[in-house]
Amino acid sequence: MTNPVRNGRLTGFLFLLTYLSFLGGAFLILRILPLENPHTILQRPGEAGLFVLGIFLELICGFGIVGIPLLLTGIVHRENRPLAFAYLAWRIAEGGVILFSSLMLMALVPLGRLNPAPGDLVPLIRILYDGVNDYWIPLTLGLGGLVYGLILRREKFVPPLFAFWAIIGYPLTALGGVLEAFGLRLGTFLALPIALYELVFAVYLLINGYGYTQNNKGEEDDHT
């Protein structure tokens, strides 16, 4: 079995990497994408480079999202492997669509050199990107995160607080995505518990890894 402490620390690094790269990428992309004529902005010196940097950050996020469950599958017990593979499937669904939407955004860079941009391609790209971020990511993140919380509770890799925080918080994120689809703008509010969770959890894992059970066993052995 792979070392849980090492894998946990790598997972903490990936949580932090995906967290920061997603926020940074979204900030750089959304400076331009909501505009009716983004090609006029992309023609300005340096703007296309910042836009491509945002896309690159989201590509990093997509790959990192898939890496998190891959580090988990090698350390869970046999009876929990179906859950680990289910978690991997959800994160592939999330990360894969992020990668697709990021590559789709690359089409805006050559379009930015044309004035005007052809047809309705720019609005279509904007609608697809908003759909991924407002509906698909919260849904897949929430459902996959629920499975992750169940794995943490069963394996006891981390203190129970983190497992129950995930079990409660991630479904709220998924609910936010569903409500957004029906026009109720509550997604950001319902995602706040998990936004805080992933930041705190990343720091915990960077320090301790998945070593909670091992540490407890060591303390029990010291008292016997």
Convert the pLDDT of each residue in 7-48 to its tens digit. 999 999 999 999 999 999 999 988 877 655 565 666 666 777
144, 87 contact by CB (below 8 A):
yes
Q: Is 218's pLDDT higher than 50?
A: no
Q: What's this model's pTM, rounded to 2 decimal places?
A: 0.87
The first and second tokens of residue 143, run together, are 């459902």
Return the higher-pLDDT residue of 219 and 149. 149
Cα distances from 17 to residues 10, 12, 23, in angstroms, run: 10, 8, 10
Number of domains into which the chain is organized: 1
The first and second tokens of residue 210, run together, are 């998945």
Question: Which amino acid is present at 173?
Answer: T
Q: Is 220's pLDDT higher than 60?
A: no
Residue 22: the pLDDT is: 95
Q: What percent of the chain has pLDDT over 70?
A: 83
Range of the domain at 35: 4-223
Q: What value, to the nearest 5°, has the Cα angle with vertex 71 and ends 6 and 80?
A: 110
Residue 161 neighbours by CB under 8 Å, 6+ apart: none
Q: What value, to the nearest 5°, has the Cα angle with vertex 66 and ends 5 and 74?
A: 40
Residue 36: the pLDDT is: 55
